[in-house]
């Protein structure tokens, strides 16, 4: 599947002046050459290569229609495998933001969840850090932040044999300078979202689909979509959402317009590699209800 060449206009600076990390330009190349089913050869979007100190704001590039699926709060041995099978069957990319507490310990549940994480990675999907306890980062001190970020990082590395560099803040909330610095100083690139499935507010696949339809009406060009692979009705909604995108795409093509493309997070890296560092002051982000 070819990608959208992402060039988000509103790369809202998120306290970038706090980290002062230079952009280290990496290898350039046409993203359309990238097979998005296969993760990058150098690991999981190594941030020093792609855009240290930057963030992915979740909006589609101008003049493009794209959807990047992201699934948070797993892995869950009970619900994630079904989603992996469906992604595999349809040949679509996705990113999983996992929580450390599900991977930790000697218990059978943690062992099964680690095995699911390994399967996720082995099949080529991207993985990111979603903290250990899924608490609000903005109220934490340095020691708490260290635990949330580094313990989760260690658990992922232990399971996968590599570090990962994508990060998603619980509730999408990342404002306090201490929290922002903790994330960026470790080389993480935070990923926000442009569309919210609000799958935790409903309890049926049809409910999730209705929410995504509303988001597509609100954001017709698409963007990074937030879902949760821990919710069985959200996993069941995934094929319905893909069908909906295909239906809308067929209508768009019939009108001579550009269809939706399901893209990997990789598609959002091009502008981070090449764009100048944002100079505007950071824009506060409203806390999200879930993430």
Contact between 291 and Zn ion by CB under 5 A: the answer reads yes
d(CA 78, CA 268): 30
CB neighbours of residue 249 within 10 Å:
17
d(CA 250, CA 97): 31
> 57 or 73, CB closer to Zn ion?
73
d(CA 221, CA 291): 21
> 73 or 199, CB closer to Zn ion?
73
CB crowding 155-179: b at 16 or more within 10 Å, else e: bbeebbeebbbbbbbbbbbbbbeeb
Q: Is the peptide bond before 75 cis (omega within 30 degrees of 0)?
A: yes
Phi then psi dihedrals of residue 92, to 5 deg = -110, 150
Where in 34-53 is the site for Zn ion (CB under 5 A)?
Answer: none
Shortest Å, Cβ 190 to Zn ion? 13
Candidates 68-76, 179-187, 253-261, 277-285; binding stretch for Zn ion (CB under 5 A): 68-76
Q: Are 197 and 234 in contact (CB under 8 A)?
A: yes
Contact between 215 and Zn ion by CB under 5 A: the answer reads no
> 51 or 291, CB closer to Zn ion?
291
Contact between 72 and Zn ion by CB under 5 A: the answer reads yes
Contact between 73 and Zn ion by CB under 5 A: the answer reads yes
Shortest Å, Cβ 140 to Zn ion? 16
d(CA 59, CA 11): 9
> 64 or 168, CB closer to Zn ion?
168
Residue nearest to Zn ion (CB): 72
d(CA 280, CA 102): 38
- CA-CA-CA-CA dihedral for 228, 76, 103, 134, to nearest 10: 30
Contact between 266 and Zn ion by CB under 5 A: the answer reads no
Candidates 17-25, 66-74, 149-157, 260-268; binding stretch for Zn ion (CB under 5 A): 66-74
Shortest Å, Cβ 207 to Zn ion? 19
Shortest Å, Cβ 37 to Zn ion? 25
Contact between 199 and Zn ion by CB under 5 A: the answer reads no
Phi then psi dihedrals of residue 180, to 5 deg = -60, -45
> 34 or 227, CB closer to Zn ion?
227
> 219 or 230, CB closer to Zn ion?
230
Shortest Å, Cβ 231 to Zn ion? 11
Q: Are 139 and 176 in contact (CB under 8 A)?
A: yes
> 193 or 260, CB closer to Zn ion?
193
Shortest Å, Cβ 87 to Zn ion? 19
Nearest to 11 by CA among 223, 289, 211, 277: 277
Shortest Å, Cβ 175 to Zn ion? 17
Shortest Å, Cβ 65 to Zn ion? 26
Positions that interact with Zn ion (CB under 5 A): 72-73, 291
């Amino acid at each position: 599947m070819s990608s959208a060449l992402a060039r988000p206009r509103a790369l809202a600076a998120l306290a970038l002046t706090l980290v002062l990390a230079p952009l280290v330009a990496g290898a350039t190349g046409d993203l359309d050459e990238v097979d998005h089913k296969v993760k990058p050869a150098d690991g999981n979007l190594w941030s020093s290569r792609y855009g240290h100190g930057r963030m992915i704001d979740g909006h589609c590039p101008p003049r493009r229609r794209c959807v990047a699926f992201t699934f948070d709060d797993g892995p869950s041995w009970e619900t994630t495998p079904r989603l992996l099978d469906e992604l595999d069957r349809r040949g679509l990319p996705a990113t999983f933001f996992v929580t450390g507490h599900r991977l930790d310990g000697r218990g059978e549940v943690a062992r099964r969840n680690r095995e699911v994480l390994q399967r996720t990675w082995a099949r080529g999907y991207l993985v990111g850090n979603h903290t250990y306890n899924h608490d609000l980062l903005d109220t934490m001190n340095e020691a708490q932040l260290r635990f949330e970020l580094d313990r989760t990082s260690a658990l992922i590395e232990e399971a996968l044999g590599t570090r990962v560099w994508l990060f998603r803040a619980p509730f999408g909330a990342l404002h306090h300078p201490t929290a922002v610095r903790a994330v960026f100083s470790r080389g993480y690139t935070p990923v926000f979202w442009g569309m919210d499935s609000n799958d935790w507010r409903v309890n049926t696949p049809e409910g999730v689909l209705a929410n995504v339809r509303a988001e597509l009406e609100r954001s017709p060009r698409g963007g990074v979509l937030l879902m949760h692979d821990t919710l069985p009705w959200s996993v069941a909604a995934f094929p319905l959402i893909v069908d909906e995108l295909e239906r809308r795409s067929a209508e768009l093509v019939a009108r001579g317009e550009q269809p939706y493309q399901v893209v990997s997070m990789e598609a959002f890296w091009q502008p981070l590699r090449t764009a100048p560092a944002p100079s505007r002051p950071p824009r506060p982000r409203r806390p999200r209800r879930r993430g």
